[in-house]
Chain A
Amino acid sequence: MESIGVLMMCPMNAYLENELQKRYNLHRFWTCPEKPAFLETHRNSIRAIVGNASAGADAQLIDDLPKLEIISSFSVGLDRIDLGKCKEKGIRVTNTPDVLTEDVADLAIGLILALLRRLCQCDSYVKSGKWKYGDFKLTTKFSGKSVGIIGLGRIGTAIAKRAQGFSCPINYYSRTEKPDVGYKYYPTVVELAQNSDILVVACPLTDETRHIVNRQVMDALGPKGVLINIGRGPHVDEKELVKALTEGRLGGAGLDVFEEEPHVPEELFGLENVVLLPHVGSATVETRNAMADLVVGNLEAHFAGKPLLTQVV
């Protein structure tokens, strides 16, 4: 039987690599010195792509692989894949929803607490020996603060449930109002920001939501408000964010994602009112294994002619 060519776009998980290697002819795209030549050579044997939050498949790559049947993303976000092109050419797309919902929601709450209670600074304060010379300053209470969530999907809902445990009133913005959820709806992100102490980005990245958190939103959030981004870097106008933070117009930010990962604006490194993480929303052993199993499971189902597990297109 002819071996199925699978193109993996970047290093993402050793367990996933092994499982793909066992089943398919796995090509590691990041190790190819001459990518155009590689694609030319293998264009007729590659039937699947495995991408993630950093690298997927744009229109050009899809055109370069005429035998491509399926793109299986090691992420729930699909912003790296040209979905329109896939629909046009009948290429199937799968992602990893649900298995990472809890991890991302947990991290959002963790970012809020670390930011408001200055937990990273507290840790450094003690570990540098400074506590001997005086107590750390007062920080900001989380319980009872209003939380405004952009996007009330799986992840947004999980964040809301957790924040309610801290007696936080929940506000939200989404494309359409959801009448049964019991949270307060705001028809624009600016109004959401005006009425919330903590603004959390939890929607998909699309053309409509790019820079959904812009200068106007940050000004509405204000010097006592904080922004938490566990979505995608481009959700936020990063240049404006840096200015708002360094000029004191925004109270603080907890960020797991950035516009040009792994590059983070260095102006943020010296700020005490930010928490910066290297895109670890789903980065636990348990969840990455579950995501890998979904990627492999979807590919196996596709090549066996069975129903896909988590089909998007």
Chain B
Amino acid sequence: MSEPSESPLVLVHRTPTLTYMDDHLSRNFRLLKTYASPDPLPVFLSRHAATVTAFVNIGRLKIDAELLSHLPSLQLLVCTCVGTDHVDLAECKRLGIAVTNAGDAFSDDVADCAVGLLISVLRRISVGDRYVRSGKWAKLGEFQLGTKVSGKRVGIVGMGTIGSRIAKRLEPFGCIISYNARTQKQSIPYRYYSDVLSLAADNDVLVLCCSLTDQTRHVVNREVMESLGKEGVIINVGRGGLVDEKEMVKCLVEGVIGGAGLDVFEKEPQVPEELFGLDNVVLSPHAAVATPGALESVASVAIANLKAFFSNQPLVSPVRLG
């Protein structure tokens, strides 16, 4: 193990509450902490970060060309999300900066959340719990029937680490799985659809878990929702930007689609208030990754990527830069 004075220097940025990696990082590296300085970020970087080769971005700080211009020696950007839509990947590629993400660290948790939202929407769990707690069951009696989950046709948009885990969880429910992805995957047994519109037409549920890119922005638009139909349900554990949120709100209020389970939104933490009164909608505050186990896993992956970088080994969870 190297002497503390020989530990590599790592630039770290985080918000005040995201402290889960502090110990892991300080045990293994010398840290340059953006958050320990009163300087505005660009000033701090210009003053102190000229020789930094590795940067850990804990959270979703936007990494654009302007910010990168203050890091002339940067070779590695470690992100703690799976999604990297907050990073200018093209600029990283141009500058020769490798990018890593959270890999599989919390894919199980996101998949669990997606299935939980799906069952909660169809079986009316959230509204049922409120019904009992408010005393309505004793007073008013029978609760409105829900919809069967088992056997439903589920179309998954994005068949990466998260989509494949969602499919694995829904198979024992007898759900019929199909998917849309950038390319068909020969190794998996589910039916492939080359576009989201036709996927929606043939499914009862649409689960969104693909990355947000220029190609996938608003991939779920009004036309797709009309195709999904009035019994159809959208589950979004990807990014808010995958859905035309204004149109989705209208479709839910007007009954164009049957319901939604949403963990992400276009302008978090703002959520369209028209959704607040809808019993067929279950909302979650981007909490799909929020278990202690997940954070431990993310920390491990981040440290592993840094160690690999500093010892010239292959990175653990590199992001393809297109």
Chain A residues with a Cβ under 8 A of chain B: 11, 102-103, 105-107, 109-111, 113-114, 117, 119-120, 122-129, 131-132, 135-144, 161-162, 164-167, 262-264, 269, 275-278, 280, 283-288
Contacts and interface: CB of A to CB of B under 8 A. Distances in A.
Contacts of A162: 172-173
Contacts of A111: 125
Contact of A110 (B125, B137, B172): B125
**In the complex, which of the residues A137, A142, A285 has the most CB atoms of chain B within 10 Å of its own CB atom?**
A142
Interface in B7-56: 17
14 contacts: A105-B150, A110-B149, A113-B119, A122-B284, A131-B285, A141-B109, A141-B293, A165-B168, A262-B137, A276-B128, A277-B128, A283-B146, A284-B148, A285-B145
Nearest to A284: B148
Interface residues of B, number: 61
Contact of A280 (B124, B133, B271, B286): B124
Given A141-B293, A277-B132, A284 B116 contact: no
Interface in B264-299: 268-271, 273, 275-277, 282-287, 290-295
Nearest to B276: A127
B285 A135 contact: yes
Contact of A143 (B108, B142, B172): B108
B119 A110 contact: yes
A166 B165 CA distance: 9
Nearest to A103: B148
Contacts of A263: 138
B128 A102 contact: no
Nearest to B108: A143
B287 A122 contact: yes
A11 B142 contact: yes
B117 interface: yes
Contacts of A143: 108-109, 111-112
The 5 lowest CB-CB distance pairs between A and B, nearest first, are A113-B116, A110-B119, A102-B150, A126-B283, A276-B132
B116 A119 contact: yes
B172 A114 contact: no
B145 A139 contact: no
B47 to A, nearest CB: 31
**In the complex, which of the residues A110, A276, A284, A288 has the most CB atoms of chain B within 10 Å of its own CB atom?**
A110
Contact of B137 (A131, A138, A278): A278
B269 A277 contact: no
Contacts of B72: none
B287 A275 contact: no
A141 B145 contact: no
Given A107-B123, A284-B123, A285-B147, A262 B138 contact: yes
Given A117-B113, A119-B282, A165 B171 contact: yes
B131 interface: yes
A141 B148 CA distance: 25
Contacts of B132: 264, 269, 276-278
A78 to B, nearest CB: 21
Contacts of A166: 108, 112, 169
Contact of A286 (B120, B148, B277): B148
A139 B110 CA distance: 12
B115 A280 contact: no
Given A126-B284, A276-B129, A136 B290 contact: yes
Contacts of A102: 148-151, 173-174
Contacts of A123: 120, 126, 282-284
A129 B270 CA distance: 9
Nearest to B118: A110
Nearest to A266: B135
A276 B275 CA distance: 23
Contact of B119 (A106, A127, A161, A264): A106
B291 A138 contact: yes
B141 interface: yes
B310 interface: no
Nearest to A288: B145
B64 to A, nearest CB: 24
Given A131-B285, A162-B172, A284-B123, A117 B142 contact: no
B120 A110 contact: yes
**In the complex, which of the residues B108, B146, B275 has the most CB atoms of chain A within 10 Å of its own CB atom?**
B146
A164 B168 CA distance: 10
Contacts of B271: 126, 131
Contact of B143 (A122, A275, A278): A278
A141 B172 CA distance: 20
B145 A165 contact: no
A287 B273 CA distance: 34
A122 B291 CA distance: 13
B68 interface: no
A177 B276 CA distance: 49
A221 B126 CA distance: 25
A135 B285 CA distance: 7
Contact of A114 (B111, B116, B135, B283): B116
B170 interface: yes
Contacts of A135: 17, 285-287, 290
A117 B290 CA distance: 9
Contacts of B137: 262, 264, 278
A4 B85 CA distance: 69
Nearest to A128: B276
A125 B129 CA distance: 14
Contacts of B282: 119, 123
A165 B124 contact: no
